[in-house]
Amino acid sequence: MQHYQEQQRRRPPQHQPQQPGREHDMWPEPIFIREDYIGSDKLKDKVALITGGDSGIGRAVALHFAREGADSLLVYLGEHEDARETQRLVLSEGRRCELLAGDVGDPEFCAEAVAQAVKHYGRLDVLVNNAAEQHEQTEFTDISFEQVERTFKTNFFAYFALAKAALPHLGGGGAIVNTTSITAYRGSSHLIDYSATKGAIVAFTRSLAKAVADKGIRVNGVAPGPIWTPLIPATFPKDKVEQFGGNTPMGRAGQPAECAPAYVFLASADGSYMTGQILHPNGGSLSKPEAETRRAQKPRPIASGLGFRLDLLKQFWSCVGIDCLQ
């Protein structure tokens, strides 16, 4: 924990002019696994296909899966140096790792990625849909339809295409883990199209989970944020990158190493009774300090009669997250 906090304090302003971002150009580099993380064969001899597997959360998931005994095929767009480093790390854990470069926005490539995983390993047990892109726009009217279409192709249509291709191979006990985001729940005024894709992933996860439950396949999601990954310096200006994550209740951005165990849980037998669910490693960012403020204020009477106070009832529903008295 102290190491994570120290990294937040010493992160300098930085920006990368291209997407996807590159992990080897970040400083400090993200922490992808704790030194004291001990695997226990939770994914012994399983095979996973991980998109966006070259860096960030994808790299952390690949390495945690390897330490738990899984082999993997990592899909990435074009960050060859990052991908080779992730492959080296997985191989150092004594597990196999194949790389496949391509655009998940192309449904034919998605089908090919699944076919390659099955060809290399003879099976597929886990699909981790993780690849994403985002493009900050401070004005809604500046968002082009081309940007919206591109963001949906990468962030949502690819998840659909990969799941469709993978389902015939997963079989009973298989698992799909989709990466959504805190923005699906909180929204973002400067990442509107990105947030929309992440909301779609939540609905997709819950719906697909119901559709395939009778096949013994579980579908869950992880909604991280804010996490220090290459997506951040590739999206935001230098000043925002320097302060990224500082406004969370924990006062810092999270690390990929703090997200990956959630994927292990959902992919393994530990999560055997979990489907259609979303886990939230976000440093407490979904807590509602404004609700605390409302509770501290003196209630203002809205209606009275027979001792009934509508304002108190409204505050109660607000505190439990139901806004039905507007």
Q: What is the enclosing helix (H) or strand (E) of 208? A: helix 192-212
Is the domain of 266 the same as that of 295? no
Quick one: pLDDT at residue 243?
72
Give the span between the Cα atoms of 171 and 189, in whole angstroms: 40
294, 259 in Cβ contact below 8 A? no
Segment 66-111, tens digit of pLDDT = 999 999 999 999 999 999 999 999 999 999 999 999 999 999 999 9
In this structure, what are the phi and psi dihedrals at residue 177, rounded to the nearest 5 degrees?
A: -125, 120
Query: What domain range includes position 314?
Result: 290-319
**Domains identified in the chain, total number:** 2
Is the domain of 187 the same as that of 314? no
Give the span between the Cα atoms of 225 and 210, in whole angstroms: 26
Q: Order of strands across the sheet with 47-51?
A: 97-101, 71-76, 47-51, 126-129, 175-179, 218-222, 278-279
- Active-site residue, selected from the candidate residues 4, 194, 263, 273: 194
Q: Tell me, yes or no, if 4 is annotated catalytic.
A: no
Contacts of 143 (CB under 8 A, 6+ apart): 137, 192, 193
Which pairs count as long-range contacts for 137-146, CB under 8 Å and 24+ apart, including other chains? 137/190, 137/191, 137/192, 138/190, 140/192, 143/192, 143/193
The CATH number of whichever domain residue 265 belongs to comes to 3.40.50.720
- 182: exposed, middle or buried (Cβ count in 10 Å: 0-12, 13-18, 19+): buried
Quick one: pLDDT at residue 307?
45
DSSP label at residue 269 = G
Q: Is residue 106 part of a domain?
A: yes
Q: Is residue 207 part of a domain?
A: yes
Segment 122-145, tens digit of pLDDT = 999 999 999 999 898 999 999 999
Q: Is residue 326 part of a domain?
A: no
Give the span between the Cα atoms of 256 and 34, in whole angstroms: 10
Is the domain of 269 the same as that of 296? no
Quick one: pLDDT at residue 297?
41
47, 72 in Cβ contact below 8 A? yes
Collect the ranges in the chain with pLDDT lower than 70.
1-10, 23, 26-27, 231-232, 234-237, 287-326
Q: Is residue 324 part of a domain?
A: no
User: Alpha helix (H) ranges present in 12-79?
Assistant: 56-67
Is the domain of 243 the same as that of 301? no
Quick one: pLDDT at residue 324?
43
Quick one: pLDDT at residue 305?
45
Q: Is residue 234 part of a domain?
A: yes
Quick one: pLDDT at residue 19?
73
Give the span between the Cα atoms of 47 and 65, in whole angstroms: 9
Reading the block at residue 102, the tokens are 């391509």
